[in-house]
Structure 1
Amino acid sequence: MKQYIKLTIAISLMVLIMPSCKKDLLNVDNPNTITEEQFWKTESDAEKGVNAAYAMFYKPGGWSRWIYFRLDLTSDEGFSNSPWIELADWTRFQYVNYNFWEGNAITWRDTYKAIFRCNQVLANLPEIPFTDNNKKELLLAQAKFLRGLHYYYAALLWENIPLVLEPSKPDDLPAQRPLAEVWAQVEKDLTEALAVLPVSWDAANVGRPNKGAANAFLARTYMQQRKWPQAKTALDYFITGAGAGKYELVTNFQDNFTHTNENNKESVFEIQFSDVNKGGDGDDPNQNMGHNRAQFFAPRGIGWSDGQARYWMVDEFKKEKTTANAIDPRLRYTLFYPALFADFGDKIYGRNWEWNANEAWFRKYQRDYFRTNEDYFAQNNVRLIRYADVLLMYAEVLNELDQTATAAGYVNTVRARSNMASLATAHPAVLMSKDAFRDRLKIERMLELCGESVRWADLKRWGDLETPAKVSAVAQRDPDFNNFVVGKHVRLPIPQTEVLNNPNLKQNDKY
């Protein structure tokens, strides 16, 4: 898949989205492009349409660049000390210009552009004759999965948004829908995709979503709504269902973040990045298929250093030793910090520590394991969901269903990979109540998943952003939350240009 999806996406792109035109003197078809009416005729057109939907992973509003600022840096795990003040302000809840491109508008644009491409597939592909109807259904299922995925993240970021389910036109004025309806659409798309997607793909198609990916995102969707029984049903797939035994934790924790062991047995769904092309982010055959996270999150003098990690996590990693009385080995591959060389013998991109004594930087998805600098073309896949996350989600769901003792076993499985003692041995008190276990799970998820773009969803789901007292507790770890206004900053503002241009949109509460 690392070659199939990435290379075919580049050459399919967006001839399919060109609108058809009325024949008049002021509106003439471009003879050098294909119109929408001319496209959507063959199986090849259908495949290109789906590939164009996958191509949205490589756009800067999403997983190529800016979404990490929204999901990692806005959480209590990260922050920005960028000299670009407006950029940094958008990680510290200082929203002045709602149209700020890099902080808001580009992610909105690329989200709906991705949804538009999925809608094109879902509207046009059913009319195309196929020799193999199963192939057609698999293409439709992928489009539904991708649309559900993009609406999932849109719900996390803006909450009350338009639900656009048909190919849109420039003069459309889609109605804003409440968050509950957005979640319902995500559930519908993922459930319908789940019914068709296979348990596994063949080697040529590794990286496409399968039943595991659909179930994992369904579980996330249910959990954000605190629908614990439904979430358990989705996650049962991995524990007692057809996915049982398919996924395992890899022995080497670092293998989850490098380009040398991608699509491994721990991966549930990952974005297939590549450094084959070193172009820009436009819709052309040479578009960049790498991500820019490494460049923007690398320490000063190595990358742009616009995003870095909160130091409290270093201290948290060091609170508990392994069964061999060593430092938690996950720290080594999670963060750059001043004592990294003293603790593990690792330099930072070949350098001694030259940053401030209280600074830390995200190490996951950085390429210091084979480079001494960074650029815009990082080829290591970003794992949106891995099996360790599934196990910790399952533990959370079981705890919320009053099965705390059983839940502990799944946390222990994750801890054992890093040679950490069982919860009963290391933290016996957390097994005494649901609340105590939940509080410990918040730490366990950080230790395992720090910097993997899940913490913002976690804080929202746990209710840690719902009252001033709870936000104050978060602010003890991350002073940016001193700016957080309850009932307002739990969601982003809708870009103001969208509100002004669409009378069916209302700006989010308190903005």
Structure 2
Amino acid sequence: MKSVNNIRTRFVIFIAMLAAFGLTGCKKNFLDSEPQGRYTTDNYPFPGGSGPYDQYLFAAYASLRDYNVHVTPFVAVTSIRSDDADKGSTPSDGGADAQGMDNFPVTPSNGLANALWTGYYNLISKCNIALDQIANNSAIDATPAIKAQSEAEARFIRGYAYFMLVRSFGRVPLVDKIYADAVAQSNIPQSSAAVIYDFIEKDLQFAAANLPPAWDPKFVGRITSGAANGMLAKVYLTQQKWAAAMTTANLVITSGQYDLSTPYTKIFGEDGENSRESVFEVQGTADATFPTAYGIQYASIQGVRGTGVWDLGWGWNDPSTYLEAAYETGDPRKDRTILYSGGTTVYGEAVPSGLPNPRYNHKVYSSLAIRNSVGSRYSYWMNIRILRYADVVLMYAEAANESGNTQAAIDKLELVRARARGTNNTILPKVTTTDPNLLRDAIRKERRIELAMEHDRFFDLVRWGIAAATLQAAGKTNFNNGRDNLLPIPQTQIDLSKGVLTQNPGY
């Protein structure tokens, strides 16, 4: 975690300075510590406790911060398409590309869809370069254990990238090696979703078997076996492989590395980063000297769209009235998720009334004190929570219910509700129904509320088979079930392939 009053060494992953062998990085903390992530006489050619392939692995880690990987295209595809969020800002902001994501259809010419495609294939390319070095660079001396661990890191990131692609586009090209030129790579035909899922499973299984359960604190943010098993559980869940999902989620639960001790109000702030709740976070950092270069624009595009000290970003990805109405009475997670114009922040700051949008994403809000300490309003330093422990617990609950393990499902569901309830026993009563259909509804609702604005809702609706009914009821009446569960294959990519790639149905 980071704090304006807690200066300690942080491991932050920067391709810019690592590839250049000596450019300075930037500290995660905001005061007077040395910039992290640069080579010195003490850690050259690689930091102690790490490995000789770091310069290649860090290129992949750093691409997790890329605009096309985890910023506007990602937010649009995972959240704005859902019933939990509106595009926000002004109606014309973002043009037809943004409007298509919000209200459908997303056309084959949509720039955000093409950006997501190119961003994740660039990420895959970085992983394949690292894997090629590990397998073939005889000039690098490494033990079999270090080779396996390094391969596991690259394969986790590659598996995650393909998981995003297959959920977003369905059939996609399977690129598992380095190609001599871009033309050769662009002419690879699509593989079926089943083939892609099998490939993802193998990558994540290898990662889970060869990664450590935890790293030295100076390497905070590096992939662990828990992250690999947690992501693998979600891959199984998406395919309705209930027994495998339950077993794999349980490996995370019983690992002893994670728990629900971090209060919900704290998880999403700077002091909640890399907590016991964190299974996989993308690491960002910033200070007055480097306010954006080593950070992530993710929070900025969702920041309050105001003036002066309240000009915090674009105002995109705003909680919808449908999400607002979904909370049970008194649920404290609502206030930590929805920031109201004219309301109060989690830090006790008064929000001005009359802002362009009535609601903003409170989970990406940074306090005025931290913004002042960095000398920036735009929160590039905030991490992205890709996979939280509560998500894993709810995956277990869902898989258990679908497998007929009703009591196990109830018990895991209660863990999440109990954390949200805290000491207030007048709210969020324990779910006790043993009817599997009613319990299924309760678990689905809990996923929506616990993980609101966190990149799962649209994909959940699709895998549950209720996307059309839910989104049309939420006013997204253009949603077509035979078309909009998947994005179109970008026309730009079809053209580059000279027709090797084919379009998804309905477009």
TM-score of the superposed pair, with normalisation by structure 1: 0.82
Matched, 1:298 2:298: no
Contact 2:342/2:350 (<8 A) preserved: no
Aligned to 1:133: 144
Aligned to 2:116: 107
Aligned to 1:264: 275
Question: Quick one: structure 1 residues 126 and 250, their matched pair in 2 at CA, closer, same or farther if it must change by over 3 Å?
Answer: same
Aligned to 2:167: 156
Q: CA deviation at 1:412?
A: 0.9
Amino acid in structure 1 at the alignment position of 2:104:
Q
Equivalences for residues 14-413 of structure 1 within 5 A? 46-81=53-88, 82=90, 83-84=92-93, 85-95=95-105, 97-101=107-111, 103-128=112-137, 129-168=140-179, 169-172=181-184, 173-240=187-254, 243=255, 245-276=256-287, 288-301=293-306, 302=311, 303-317=313-327, 319-320=328-329, 327-337=330-340, 340-341=343-344, 350-355=350-355, 359-368=358-367, 370=369, 375-413=377-415
Aligned to 2:38: none
Contact 2:303/2:378 (<8 A) preserved: no
Question: Quick one: structure 1 residues 278 and 450, their matched pair in 2 at CA, closer, same or farther if it must change by over 3 Å?
Answer: farther
SS of aligned partner of 1:308: strand
Once structures 1 and 2 are overlaid, which stretch shifts more, 176-185 or 292-301? 292-301
Contact 1:152/1:186 (<8 A) preserved: yes
Contact 2:103/2:479 (<8 A) preserved: yes
List per-residue Cα deviations over 1:1-59 (Å, max 9, x = no partner): 997653542213499xxxxxxxxxxxxxxxxxxxxxxxxxxx98722111111111121
Q: CA deviation at 1:405?
A: 2.5
Measured in 1, the distance between the counterparts of 2:20 and 2:464 equals 40
Contact 1:288/1:377 (<8 A) preserved: no
Aligned to 1:474: 471
Aligned to 2:482: 487
Measured in 1, the distance between the counterparts of 2:461 and 2:379 equals 31
List per-residue Cα deviations over 1:224-246 (Å, max 9, x = no partner): 10010111121121334xx1x32
Contact 2:82/2:471 (<8 A) preserved: no
Q: CA deviation at 1:199?
A: 1.3
Q: CA deviation at 1:316?
A: 2.4
Contact 1:224/1:460 (<8 A) preserved: no
SS of aligned partner of 1:67: helix
Q: CA deviation at 1:209?
A: 1.1
Measured in 2, the distance between the counterparts of 1:278 and 1:163 equals 40
Contact 2:340/2:351 (<8 A) preserved: no
SS of aligned partner of 2:207: helix
Contact 1:297/1:305 (<8 A) preserved: yes
Q: CA deviation at 1:490?
A: 0.5
Measured in 2, the distance between the counterparts of 1:186 and 1:93 equals 30
Once structures 1 and 2 are overlaid, which stretch shifts more, 358-367 or 258-267? 358-367
Contact 2:212/2:224 (<8 A) preserved: yes
Question: Quick one: structure 1 residues 185 and 395, their matched pair in 2 at CA, closer, same or farther if it must change by over 3 Å?
Answer: same
TM-score of the superposed pair, with normalisation by structure 2: 0.82
Measured in 2, the distance between the counterparts of 1:377 and 1:262 equals 14
User: Alignment length, in residue pairs?
Assistant: 455
Contact 1:79/1:91 (<8 A) preserved: no
Measured in 2, the distance between the counterparts of 1:354 and 1:372 equals 22
Amino acid in structure 2 at the alignment position of 1:460:
V
List per-residue Cα deviations over 1:326-368 (Å, max 9, x = no partner): x222122111135744xx8976x64333247x93221102214
Measured in 1, the distance between the counterparts of 2:208 and 2:56 equals 20
Aligned to 1:447: 449
Amino acid in structure 2 at the alignment position of 1:183:
Y
SS of aligned partner of 2:387: strand
Contact 1:336/1:362 (<8 A) preserved: yes
Aligned to 2:33: none
Amino acid in structure 2 at the alignment position of 1:52:
A
Aligned to 2:32: none
List per-residue Cα deviations over 1:75-107 (Å, max 9, x = no partner): 111121442232431323434652333x11111
Contact 1:9/1:51 (<8 A) preserved: yes
Measured in 1, the distance between the counterparts of 2:292 and 2:16 equals 7
Measured in 2, the distance between the counterparts of 1:239 and 1:165 equals 31
Structure 1 residues without counterparts, runs of 5 or longer: 16-42, 280-285, 321-326, 466-470
Measured in 2, the distance between the counterparts of 1:255 and 1:145 equals 28
Contact 1:56/1:114 (<8 A) preserved: yes
- Percent identity between matched residues is 29
CA RMSD of aligned residues (A): 2.9
Measured in 2, the distance between the counterparts of 1:86 and 1:13 equals 38
Measured in 1, the distance between the counterparts of 2:470 and 2:183 equals 46
Once structures 1 and 2 are overlaid, which stretch shifts more, 199-208 or 109-118? 199-208
